[in-house]
Structure 1
Amino acid sequence: TKQIAFNVIPHIDNFMDDGATREEWKMSVETRKILAPEIAVHATCVRVPVFVGHGEAVNIEFEKPITVEEARKAMKNFPGVSVVDYRQDEGYVTPQEVQGEDNVFISRVRKDPTVANGLSLWCVGDNLRKGAALNAVQIAEKLVAEFLPKK
């Protein structure tokens, strides 16, 4: 209902009774289904006129203290994740730059001073490649490697 070219729209799908959109509700439900039912997620989904890619500004509160360096190290060691995080111009990744990539890219990792044990980060990925289909293939490959008997 609004011009999308040269604009950002904080509205994807229909509005629900609580003021969230269906996309925001879906993001919350899918996150809890994948990670853990007790995870609290509150999102504002925004449509941005790019050809390919998703981007998320993420704030995370941990049970125990974690430093930015510890978080970066953990993410760098996780398969399918690339960390590009330099505190300078061009020291972060954008959706345009990850087109055709399978990995999810993390940038702008920093302490969130508004909550205990909080971090904030920027996360982008090629949603045409790193979506449900590729995730399903990667999960199947891992299951085969770990649980099928080797001949």
Structure 2
Amino acid sequence: MINELIEILKKEDEALNKLLKLLDKQFTLIMEKDTFKLDAIVTEIQLCNKEVAEAEVERRKLTGKASMSNIIENASSDELDNSFRKIKKTIEAIKLQKDTNEMLIKQELGFTTRMLSMLTPKKEAKTYSSYGTIRR
């Protein structure tokens, strides 16, 4: 079981590293403002997420409801421990890159929205109130 679990963890680590590379590529495309390539990379990220999920399901079938921490403690396998630590480190890097990409996209959308509102004036008629101020 330990050897099977190590193989599954290696497979999951490969999928996670692939996802991290795609997120790095997405970051580069965001910075270059290449919207068409950004749209195309979304499908690649979704496929990679599917690979990660499949590896996770495979691991959960093997381990059942037991937590990985307990399994690693009971197994006393250095290779298993190292593989799991590597996966945890990769997941943290993925979270950081994903959050960075989301923040940049939100900033760009906010900027675009403000520019559009400046370029297209409101079409409502402006009227004066009884106090002499403009109502909108």
The two structures have a TM-score, normalised by structure 2, of 0.22
The two structures have a TM-score, normalised by structure 1, of 0.20
Which structure ranks higher in relative contact order (CA pairs < 8 Å, sequence separation ≥ 6)? 2
Bigger share in helix: 2
Bigger share in strand: 1
